[in-house]
Amino acid sequence: MALLAGGKSALYIDGKLSDGGAGTFATLNPATEEVLGVAADADATDMDRAIAAARSAFDDTDWSRNTELRVRCVRQLREAMQQHIEELRELTISEVGAPRMLTSMAQLEGPVNDLAFAADTAESYPWRQDLGQAAPMGIPTKRTIAREAVGVVGAITPWNFPHQINLAKLGPALAAGNTVVLKPAPDTPWCAAVLGELIAEHTDFPPGVVNIVTSSDHGVGALLAKDPRVDMVSFTGSTATGRSVMSDGAATIKRVFLELGGKSAFVVLDDADLGAAAGVAGFSVCMHAGQGCAITTRLVVPRSRYDEAVAIAAATMGGIRAGDPTNPKTICGPLISARQRDRVQGYLDSAVAEGGTFACGGGRPEGRDVGFFIEPTLIAGLGNEAKVSREEIFGPVLTVIAHDGDDDAVRIANDSPYGLSGTVYGADPDRAAGVAARIRAGTINVNGGVWYSADAPFGGYKQSGNGREMGVAGFEEYLETKLVATAAN
């Protein structure tokens, strides 16, 4: 089976591959600006069909009650993706602009393997819990807690890590017994549409359980939050769009999971190895051109060593070139689109306007007139009140901010509308842990610890969202709790 034969993808609705009511739209290679092919362009009627199919599959079949079938289907999807992993790798590099090296990690192989956690969790999960017998109001009663699927889940996903985010929603939602309508970002339709082909050819998913609706129109995705037939929306994307999803969902009081933006701080204490810390901060912000919501984009360092930190981070970032994602050595590939490149450049222009300077980078790489590239850029001379220090840029851009001790570092880290991630480096483990405990963020890396794992919950505080994805907590986002009280005669 050749994936996406003919350079065209289809919708996957009610167990069938089909064309889109609005025709097709192009998907581009962000490194070359070449058209890769076209994707089916869904309209509102297509989305209506998808929601109806998901509703019927949940209400009229035993999918939500047949754990054995669900586990088998999720494992079949994992196996199918593994069998086609090299085709998927090339697709991901081409459509996402993801550096090849990252496809062996969170851009592809990691999330595919993580489907096993969703299946294993469903297989061993305590779906029913006996609370024992009591006599509330004098009536002998046996009580049982049952965990059941929420129902129809609308999953709306972004373009930066499409496989990771698509599968982090599909895996647990399906394993938990829900049916799903997936609406991916218009920038990366193929990474989602290919799942429809694999499901149709290689799995036993019943019709309507999984529906994949690609569209160039963001309004088509918004229908998921508005439609009363949808019980839950799981959204990953910008905070601004997350507000709209929450507002639309409020009309039907549907459950809304939001994983939104971040402006995470990399805090370096005065006893830390500054060379290691500043080097790591500079390197990490360049990975995938900084297009990750949990990447640390504020380097908060002791004021007395500010210039040294700037020099170290600039040396690291200046040695990383924005380049061809097909090259196994590339760390920083292109941004996803011309629109995103222009947006990042606008932030860089604002940094200069506010009095900042570039220790390295500052614009498009010399000699790269084709492709949506921005040089790794280090901004110095600005405080935490600057626009580039407060807003999510989503590019390979790091701002260095001075602090005057642990309390001030914590204040700066928390002085943000976001609270998704963070890092603390310090020689004294207890001191570093104490600072980490005071930072209001959903994930914290202390001295290089890795928080990304299938069994670990991920999510944020404040305007970085609500709820958790991945881990048992992420699985349980897709469950309802029912108490069954039976009279004990």
Active-site residues, by number, are 259
Q: Give exposure, 228-237, as e/b (b: 16+ Cβ within 10 Å).
A: ebbbbbbbbb
CA–CA–CA angle 91, 95, 97 (5° rounding) = 105
Q: How far apart are the C-alpha atoms of 399 and 393, rounded to whole Å?
A: 11
- Are the C-beta atoms of residues 274 and 377 closer than 8 Å to each other? no
List Cβ<8 Å contacts ≥24 apart for 123-127.
123/67, 123/71, 125/475, 127/67
For the stretch 133-138, contacts whose Cβ atoms lie closer than 8 Å and that sit 24 or more positions apart, written own/partner, are 133/488
Q: Cα separation of 211 and 195, whole Å?
A: 10
Total residue length of the chain:
489
Distance CA 347, CA 317 (A): 18
Which amino acid, one-letter code, is at 320?
I
Dihedral over alpha carbons 121, 125, 127, 131 (to 10 degrees): -150
**What would you report as the CA-atom Rg of the chain, rounded to the nearest whole angstrom?**
23
Q: What H or E segment, with its residue span, contains residue 339?
A: helix 338-353
